[in-house]
Amino acid sequence: MNNFAFVNPVKIIFGKDTIKDISKEIPQSAKVLIIYGGGSIKKNGVYDQVVDALKGYTYYEFGGVEANPHYETCMKAVALIKEKQCDYLLAVGGGSVVDATKFISMAACFEAGDPWSVVASGAKMEKALPFGVILTLSATGSEMNSGAVITRAETQDKLAFNSPLVFPKFSVLDPTTTFTLPVRQIGNGVVDAFVHVVEQYATYPVNAMIQDMFAESILRTLVIEGSKALESPEDYDVRANLMWASTWALNGWINCGVPQDWATHSIGHELTALYGLDHAQTLAIVLPGVLEYEKERKAEKIIQMGEQVFGIYNTMDREERIQASIKAVEDFFEQMQVKTHLSDYELGEDAVEAVAKRLNDRGWKLGEHADITGDVVRKILKLRL
Ligand code: NZQ
Ligand code: ZN
């Protein structure tokens, strides 16, 4: 196991009817800005619960955060915060709303020019407004981590930033809020969380037994409960297991002391930025390609995943077990109704070339060995036409 330091300060408030508890977390004197997305919270009763819980507070609201949140939209919220002098933010929605809120919390305090520089070139941020989260879509883990992914529409850049200053103060995880998710978002959420775990697990062994077994338990939970959520959208226990699994998939715990990949996410972000695919759709396309291309260097962990998660035991030879494990991952994504090939989204060679060029231009070297260049990405994506 490699050396590591670990801290996660996010308070989790989990369970039914917990939205009302936000009044115990937000100071009574706070001027709150509620931040939300395209309106799902107004249809499913979540907004009403939030407003009830904020009785007696001074609060304002900012709606319209889009999926894959835009810098341009976030800056409108920053202007409102300055106008109304808000000092506490409340994100109500999925990962996009949470990520937008992280950026807004930073940008509202940023005094060294354009806050986009924090995302684009790692400019140092000094502080951020405090914020809480009410999560309505289990997928990203953003509710319990310090990362965010923001898109600059003008340049089609989709880039991540990370800072301990943007850990949420608290996150309310009420699984009943996810009952209204459309099938597409149920599938997306399960696939995203699955790929988060694989990016921190399917690299090479460093004998980190706790992290490995914890990762396998998250993957198994997603496999067991994922299809149940499609069949019975209002099964509380299924939703609770999925919500908690996706939080733990990316809260910093399973990546302690282990190598990490993240090539699939980096390639996927380009597909979203250029062609507007959902985040999880890009991952479902790319991950099987990364596993296939890297199958020799990842062999031990692919075989271990096949055995522990999909029950692929050593009745076959080594190569067959690797192929069966990769196929099991792809089949699981399809079972979650997330398509796994570029052609399923009407993309072809042109898209492969465009993504490869962008990554070559950026000079990025991805993966746990930091050697997946744009040229290698071209080969990976050609496996996924
Ligand atoms: O906007 P509204 O109307 O709320 O509708 C949303 C949106 O259309 C809808 N939705 C959310 N909760 C709902 C619901 N519909 C019905 N009932 C509910 N309870 O779902 C749609 C998608 O929402 P979004 O927030 O975009 O989805 P998700 O949570 O998958 O977030 C995706 C974003 O997170 C980033 C992605 O890149 C993408 O931008 N990620 C953030 C990460 C992080 N911060 O750690 C890690 C991830 O890898 C990921 O990159
Ligand atoms: Zn993701």
* Residue 210's CATH number: 1.20.1090.10
Of the residues 148, 177, 206, the one at which a domain ends: 177
- Are residues 83 and 192 both part of a single domain? no
Query: First vs last Cα of the chain: how many Å apart?
Result: 37
CA 148 to ligand 1: nearest atom: 44
- Are residues 208 and 168 both part of a single domain? no
Q: How far apart are CA 140 and CA 280, in angstroms?
A: 10
- 114 is in which domain, residue-wise? 11-177
- Are residues 247 and 148 both part of a single domain? no
- Are residues 120 and 228 both part of a single domain? no
Is residue 30, in this structure, part of any structural domain at all? yes
Q: Please list all protein residues whose beta carbon sits less than 5 angstroms from ligand 2, which is an ion.
A: 192
Is residue 2, in this structure, part of any structural domain at all? no
Is residue 95, in this structure, part of any structural domain at all? yes
- Are residues 266 and 250 both part of a single domain? yes
Q: How far is the CA of 95 from the centre of ligand 1 (A)?
A: 4
Residue nearest to atom 15 of ligand 1 (CA): 181
The amino acid sitting at 236 is: Y
- Are residues 130 and 222 both part of a single domain? no
Q: How far is the CA of 246 from the centre of ligand 1 (A)?
A: 13
Q: How far is the CA of 162 from the centre of ligand 2 (A)?
A: 14
- Are residues 162 and 188 both part of a single domain? no
**β-pair type (58-62, 157-162):** unpaired
- The ligand placed nearest to the CA atom of residue 92 is 1
Say if residues 250 and 193 touch (Cβ distance below 8 Å): yes
The finding on whether 67 has its CB within 6 A of some atom of ligand 1 is yes
Alpha helix segments (H runs only) across 108-235: 116-121, 183-201, 209-231
Of the residues 146, 177, 208, the one at which a domain ends: 177
- Are residues 121 and 165 both part of a single domain? yes
pLDDT tens for the 385 residues of the chain, in order: 999 999 999 999 999 999 999 999 999 999 999 999 999 999 999 999 999 999 999 999 999 999 999 999 999 999 999 999 999 999 999 999 999 999 999 999 999 999 999 999 999 999 999 999 999 999 999 999 999 999 999 999 999 999 999 999 999 999 999 999 999 999 999 999 999 999 999 999 999 999 999 999 999 999 999 999 999 999 999 999 999 999 999 999 999 999 999 999 999 999 999 999 999 999 999 999 999 999 999 999 999 999 999 999 877 899 999 999 999 999 999 999 999 999 999 999 999 999 999 999 999 999 999 999 999 999 999 999 9
The finding on whether 188 has its CB within 6 A of some atom of ligand 1 is yes
- Are residues 139 and 263 both part of a single domain? no
Q: At what angle do helices 299-310 and 209-231 cross, to 10 degrees?
A: 50
What are the residues facing 135 on neighbouring strands? 93, 173
- Are residues 191 and 159 both part of a single domain? no
- The ligand placed nearest to the CA atom of residue 283 is 2
Of the residues 177, 208, 234, the one at which a domain ends: 177
Q: How is the chain split among helix, strand and coil, in percent rounded to 5?
A: 55, 10, 35
CA 185 to ligand 1: nearest atom: 20
Sheet holding 58-62, edge to edge: 11-14, 170-173, 131-135, 88-93, 31-36, 58-62
Residue 327 burial (C-beta neighbours within 10 Å; 0-12, 13-18, 19+): middle
Residues listed for the chain: 385
Q: Domain total for the chain?
A: 2
